[in-house]
Amino acid sequence: MADVNTKNLSTGARAVMKKIHPCGSNLFLITRTGADVKLQCLGCNHIIMLDLNKALKSIKSIIL
Ligand SMILES: [Zn+2]
């Protein structure tokens, strides 16, 4: 588990979200980083896009 910061927000890492997705999973794969962060739910494969600030606020921890 790593702290949530822009350095650890890297493609291929997994993000543990503060909020649980409607499918019951709170684990997302980071598929794109930058000004917008793309996350894929590992429970249902749904893809969400968050701006960087929102992503940093929504993620609890990162598994590198
Ligand atoms: Zn899901």
* Residues that place a CB less than 5 A from ion ligand 1: 21, 23, 25, 41, 43-44, 46
Query: What are the residue boundaries of the structural domains of the chain, listed by start?
Result: 14-63
CA distances from 28 to 1, 20, 59 (A): 14, 10, 9
Interval 23-44 mean pLDDT? 98
Q: How far apart are CA 23 and CA 10, in angstroms?
A: 24
pLDDT value for 36: 97
DSSP reduced 3-state for 54: helix
Interval 17-37 mean pLDDT? 97
* pLDDT over 90 at 2, yes or no: no
Q: How far is the CA of 6 from the centre of ligand 1 (A)?
A: 23
**Taking the model in full, what pTM does it have?**
0.93
pLDDT value for 1: 80
Q: How far apart are CA 39 and CA 33, in angstroms?
A: 9
Chain segment 35-64, per-residue pLDDT in tens: 999 999 999 999 999 999 999 999 999 998
> Contact 57/50 with Cβ under 8 angstroms?
no
Q: How far is the CA of 3 from the centre of ligand 1 (A)?
A: 23
Instruction: State the chain's maximal CA–CA distance in angstroms.
Output: 28
